[in-house]
Amino acid sequence: MKKSDIGIIAIMYGICAFFFFMTVELPEEAQTYPRCLLAGLCVLNTLYMLRCLLRLRREGFSNDLPQIFSGFMHSQFFLVVLCCIGYMLLMYAAGFYVASIVYLTGVMLLLHVPRLHILLTVGVLALLIYAVFTLFLKVPLPVGVLFS
Amino acid sequence: METLTLMGMGFVHALSPVNLFAMFASTAVGVTIGCLPGLSAAMGVALLLPVTFGMDPATGLIVLGGIYCGAIFGGSISAILIHTPGTPASAATAIEGYQLTLRGQAAKALTTACFASFCGGLLSCISLYFFSPLLAQLAMKFKSPEYFWLSLFGLTIIAGVSSKSMLKGLMSGVLGLLLSTIGMDPMEGVPRFMFGQAALYNGIDTTCALIGLFSMSQILILAEKKIVQRPRAAEFKDAFGLSGKEIRRISPTILRSWVIGNIVGILPGAGASIACFMGYNEARRFSKHKEEFGKGSIEGVAGSEAANNAVTGGSLIPTLTLGIPGESVTAVLMGGLIIHGLQPGPALFTTYAGMTYTFFAGFVIVQFFMLGIGILGCRGFATIARLSDAILIPSIFLLCVVGSYAIHNNYTEVIIMMIFGVIGYLARKFDLNAAAIVLGLILGPIGEKGLRRALMLSDGDPSILFSTPICWALIALCVLGVLSPMLMGRMEKKMAAQHENC
């Protein structure tokens, strides 16, 4: 049995419990189908747990998380994630194009991309998105609360 | 006669300037995505799905087909020039292709890959034209119970084959089915699991889920790894082109790989990555120049490339006729089909026959674009293949955001896309199956309606689900789908053993 299996089993049971709790609010006729699916997921998860337990008896317990996350660059990963969240917030405030330019430049600077490449990437992407989404698809991209 | 007229009309429509431009652009984009190691065909198709919203459905599908074919071929460029397959479908090409590059014959390897991909793709269109209407006729006999079993079969096959653990694959599929229940109940008309969000009234948008699961998750995968400079592509000065003798030499290999690729493509659950190794192994087995294998053989390159591109046409057959995508790319393509308001099945060959045959014709012409773009642009693509992940990460995220925002012009879709991105990332990390989750999302409503309608017709008697021979045949296929991982595992072990022996 691997350490990651515990997480998978717990999350799956958690999802089952959460959705089961939600089905209580539904009328009786609408409960049947989701509950059938939940029962199916529960059975499969229990079978998986039993298989893991059999493996535990046969092969013992192993921590596979270092293998799964081998070479994981914590600071880089969370920096990128934070920038993505920041980009979403900035887009709401300052609009799509301003936020995109700031986001692209910021992330690429943080990831040590040469400045010329940053300039080219920002220019190409801005043009591409303007041509495809604004001119062709006529999508009203967010202008932001500051400029609206 | 009617079919021939439809085929002819398909070509007339496909050859319109707009469609020709769409084919050129999508194939070029597909090759670019394919040659970038780390980016997959499924990711490319998912990412560019929103771009097709403003297009005519036939043009939109041609674009998706162009990206699919281009990406499968594009993987061979980086496989040959930098010994890093752009997509798993070109893993076998790297073996012989890079050896040819080391011998100073990179242009020959690229021409062979291009020519074999072109032939494999083109020949696969024959089976697409021939088998699709036949299978669609069979699907016309399907009623609610059959559709329920069909969706279950689709799920068992993809869940069973595409993951290391069958149970994890099935769990992913059921999770997808569960997520598909979010939104309005189709029979009772009551809101289910909507968390007070009106945007979820019609359920989770498939495009958001696709972009999140395949594209956003890829960003997270790239972001966690150390960013390294990719090796410079090998310089090559030899001339492009193949002599008549070389074409005659690789022709039997291409034909053999076409048959292999087509069968693998039609069989749900297999895919281009398996087909390329099968094509390569058979090329080696039948070759009169076995001594060249491992040192740079054009037959090896042709065997692998013809097989992986022959999968493209073959894999569309069950997707379009039965709604059973065999792998992640076709699952995404099917999502695209549904987004354009088209339901896979017999209607595509009756009500929407004009559109379907235009797409088929476009699929044929895309192969010619692939040949031209591949040969003329491979030096450029070799440079693109070195594009750093540091540029790809923010660029792909930007396209994910704008793509999901464009669906309904609101932020909810972007948030859903990000949630599915995290689900996709965790699924990949813990060996769950993203393709099965997508398939559950797509097939969920079909299966639910089929089941509930059937039960309503029979006053709740479940025996209706076992009432016809087709139901039993589909049940048997479901069982086969569950057992298929064992068969596929044996096949892969056998091929790996053969490869080691040589």
**B247–chain A Cβ distance below 8 A for any pair:** no
Q: How far apart are CA A16 and CA A39, in angstroms?
A: 8
H-only helix segments in B140-232: 144-161, 166-179, 206-210, 217-224
pTM of the prediction? Answer: 0.83
H-only helix segments in A24-145: 28-59, 65-68, 74-94, 96-110, 115-129
With both helix axes pointing from N to C terminus, report the angle between B411-429 and B389-408 in degrees, rounded to the nearest 10: 130
User: Which amino acid, residue B332?
Assistant: V
* Whole-number pLDDT of residue B331: 83
- B183-184 and B191-192 as β-strands: parallel, antiparallel, unpaired? antiparallel
Q: What is the pLDDT of residues A68-123, one digit of tens each?
A: 888 899 999 999 999 999 999 999 899 999 999 999 999 999 999 999 999 999 99
Do the chains contact at B225 and A107, CB–CB below 8 Å? Answer: no
**B179–chain A Cβ distance below 8 A for any pair:** no
* Whole-number pLDDT of residue B178: 93
Higher pLDDT among residues B195 and B257, named by residue: B257
pLDDT at B414 exceeding the cut of 80: yes
Lowest mean pLDDT among A88-97, B157-166, B171-180, B421-430: B157-166
> Which residue in B has a C-alpha nearest to residue A102's C-alpha?
B394
Here the ipTM equals 0.94
pLDDT at B162 exceeding the cut of 60: no
pLDDT at B490 exceeding the cut of 80: no
Reduce the DSSP state of residue B184 to 3 states and report it: strand
Interface of B with A in 441-460 (CB under 8 A): 448, 451-452
Lowest mean pLDDT among B197-206, B216-225, B290-299, B480-489: B480-489
> Which residue in A has a C-alpha nearest to residue B405's C-alpha?
A141
For residues A49-76, average pLDDT: 89
Select from B47, B49, B152, B174 the residue whose CB has the most chain A CBs within 10 Å, as the one to mutate to test that interface: B174
Cα separations in angstroms, B396 against A41, B223, B230, B450, B479:
33, 12, 18, 38, 39
* Whole-number pLDDT of residue A12: 94
- For residue B254, the distance in angstroms to the closest alpha carbon of chain A comes to 38
Reduce the DSSP state of residue B191 to 3 states and report it: strand
Of all residues in chain A, what percent carry a pLDDT higher than 70?
A: 100
Give the count of Cβ contacts less than 8 A between chain A and B.
142
Select from B204, B391, B404, B459 the residue whose CB has the most chain A CBs within 10 Å, as the one to mutate to test that interface: B391
Q: What is the pLDDT of residues B455-473, one digit of tens each?
A: 888 887 888 888 888 888 8
For residues B273-295, average pLDDT: 85
Q: Which residues pair with A62 in a beta bridge?
A: A2
Using a CB-CB cut-off of 8 Å, the residues of chain B touching A129 are 398-399, 402
* Nearest CB partner across the interface for A27, out of B177, B188, B429: B188
Residue B119's φ and ψ, nearest 5 degrees, are: -65, -45
Alpha carbons within 13 A on the beta-carbon side of B55: 24
pLDDT at B502 exceeding the cut of 70: no
Contacts of A119 (CB under 8 A, 6+ apart): none
Q: Which of B455, B436, B439 is nearest to A33 (CA)?
A: B455
Cα separations in angstroms, B264 against B32, B94, B170, B353, B473:
25, 21, 22, 26, 21
Q: What is the pLDDT of residues A35-49, one digit of tens each?
A: 999 999 999 999 999
* Nearest CB partner across the interface for B171, out of A45, A69, A141: A45
Select from A50, A78, A132, A148 the residue whose CB has the most chain B CBs within 10 Å, as the one to mutate to test that interface: A132
* Whole-number pLDDT of residue B165: 79
Do the chains contact at A48 and B185, CB–CB below 8 Å? Answer: no
